Structure 1
Amino acid sequence: MQLSDCRVVLTGATGGIGLALVEHLCAAGAQVLAVTRQPAALATLVARYPLQLHQVTADLRTSAGRHAVVEAARHLGGVNLLLNGAGVNRFALIEQLDDHDIADMLTVNVIATLQLTRAMLPILRSQPHALVVNVGSTYGSIGYPGYAVYCASKFALRGFSEALRRELADTEVNVLYVAPRATRTSMNSAAAMALNKALGASVDEPQRVAHEVMGAIQKDLNELYLGWPEKLFVRLNGLLPGVVDRALRKQLPVIRSFIHTHENPPQ
């Protein structure tokens, strides 16, 4: 797809990756409908791109919020790109999470995304060519201690992306699944970032992730995994999960120490 021809619904538009995506899309000439619960965070970009950047304040966990997005998309004249970027995370052992924490993570990361995609499909299918982009994670392929619920949500999103792509194979709508590795955003707590530093894990800047996503959209790819050696670990976990089991077991004391000793507020 040519970015200048894109009319985009982008959820999670005021997250770290979301803001970078908004900036890249508008700079390339796309029309962007930014979905957020924090519209003030978009003020600078709205001032910079007043003719391209539109916004709708909506809580995607609610039927009314999703309906508002669909109506705004119709008012825009239809869209040919749905970019599902909304997501929440919590670095914690599962026994540290209550029922609300678990339900909210699964609702935002999976249920609301599936429901909005379903609602948007008639609009997307009316276009000569359209694309659904689901922003997942490396943790959608590798189960990692301290992220059990987040991993569950991203594994689900990866499976949804694969199945939906096959479901729409005889239409003009494609599905791209994007799997960033650790990224420097506010969604990652201080404890999570400290753990990454202690383990020597690479952390990408949101602008780099957005740049890679733009390239994948232009190439009409099906999947995009970011980072090395993370791509290798994804393959290794699929072929030889026992090897990854043993490697992560050695990291467990370090992971637990950062969960228990660093401030780790809900995200």
Structure 2
Amino acid sequence: MIVLSGRCVVLTGASGGIGAPLAGALVRRGAHVIAVGRQAAGLEALVDQHGARAITALAADVTDPAGRQRVASAARNHSASLLVLAHAQPAFGLFDEQPERLLRSVIDANLIAPMLLIRDLMPVLANHRQAAVVAIGSTLGNLAHPGFVAYGASKFGLRGLIEGLAREHADTVVTFQHLAPRATRTAFNSAAAEAMNRELGVTHDDPAEVAERLAWAIEDGERRLQLGWPESLFVRINSLWPALVDKSLSKKLAIVRRHASARNPNKDRLEATHDQA
């Protein structure tokens, strides 16, 4: 268990749909948050809402070496003991229609950047008697879904990274947590992805409620968590009887392809945004 009161937390994706309420949930538990994101206006809004004593705004792109260096420097200066990775880049679409630049960008944002940021901050975290790295994952990192192949692959990789590090550092002061929300009502998904989710009957959670649940899980030290029912059940079934999930999802392919295809006239242009999760 980790008491957040009095700790400094580095939070990436802090101005995003889950990141912003998560910053608030951490502050309410007494933490000082280094709020990292690409959008300075969103970060300053957090400062206005919670106060400069609770939030340090740090505009930085974690996919850029200079940006990561700024984050590491701030973590050292504030003696951070928690790193919460809540940034992500979406990539809804059919895999064979997605350009190489998008595929590389998604892996860079969702896997390579977290990997390098963790490596850079480990010396800072290791200076404490108790520290943690928390990755905000996704159901799609536990359960592969058509239409989200590249995004899911990046999130599967993130989950593997955290699990491997947890085992490699099992005898150290740093613990590793992978917490996976299900679909959440934020601006993260494109209009086409939201339309598909509506047709498939996907349940969306309130971001403020998700943030509270995540903050509780961080304090409680939960190593693995999948939020939502029946998503948590599907993840379990997928690990034991994947053929059942194969059969279920195959029945939805026509709907997925209709919404995910680049030929869909209503499909939003995919945009790179690292500030939501």
Q: Give your verdict on TM over 0.5.
A: yes
1:137 equivalenced with 2:141 (yes/no): no
In structure 2, C-alpha distance between the alignment counterparts of 1:44 and 1:61, rounded to whole Å = 23
Quick one: which amino acid aligns to residue 30 of structure 2? G
Look up the match of 2:269: 265
Give the alignment of 1:36-47 within 5 angstroms: 36-47=37-48
Q: Is the Cα contact below 8 Å between 1:11 and 1:86 reproduced in 2?
A: yes
In structure 2, C-alpha distance between the alignment counterparts of 1:227 and 1:111, rounded to whole Å = 27
In structure 2, C-alpha distance between the alignment counterparts of 1:177 and 1:232, rounded to whole Å = 17
Q: Is the Cα contact below 8 Å between 2:36 and 2:43 reproduced in 1?
A: no
Q: Is the Cα contact below 8 Å between 2:95 and 2:147 reproduced in 1?
A: yes
TM-score, normalised relative to structure 2: 0.93
Structure 1 alignment gaps of length 5 or more: none
CA-CA distance at 1:264 after TM superposition: 2.3
Quick one: which amino acid aligns to residue 163 of structure 1? G
Look up the match of 2:228: 227
Bigger proportion of residues as helix: 1
Query: Secondary structure, in 3 states, of the residue corresponding to 2:251?
Result: helix
In structure 2, C-alpha distance between the alignment counterparts of 1:246 and 1:116, rounded to whole Å = 38
In structure 2, C-alpha distance between the alignment counterparts of 1:147 and 1:251, rounded to whole Å = 13
Which structure exhibits the higher relative contact order, with contacts defined as CA atoms closer than 8 Å and separated by 6 or more residues? 2
CA-CA distance at 1:42 after TM superposition: 2.3
In structure 2, C-alpha distance between the alignment counterparts of 1:19 and 1:238, rounded to whole Å = 32
Q: Is the Cα contact below 8 Å between 1:12 and 1:86 reproduced in 2?
A: yes
RMSD: 1.0
In structure 2, C-alpha distance between the alignment counterparts of 1:94 and 1:205, rounded to whole Å = 29
Give the alignment of 1:49-64 within 5 angstroms: 49-64=51-66
For residues 53-77 of structure 1, what are the alpha-carbon distances to aligned partners after superposition, in whole Å with 9 as ceiling and x for unaligned? 002111111211111101111121x
In structure 1, C-alpha distance between the alignment counterparts of 2:80 and 2:52, rounded to whole Å = 18
Look up the match of 1:29: 30
Give the alignment of 1:115-264 within 5 angstroms: 115-260=116-261, 261=264, 262-264=266-268
TM-score, normalised relative to structure 1: 0.97
Q: Is the Cα contact below 8 Å between 1:91 and 1:264 reproduced in 2?
A: no
Quick one: which amino acid aligns to residue 129 of structure 1? Q
Look up the match of 1:5: 6
In structure 1, C-alpha distance between the alignment counterparts of 2:269 and 2:28, rounded to whole Å = 35
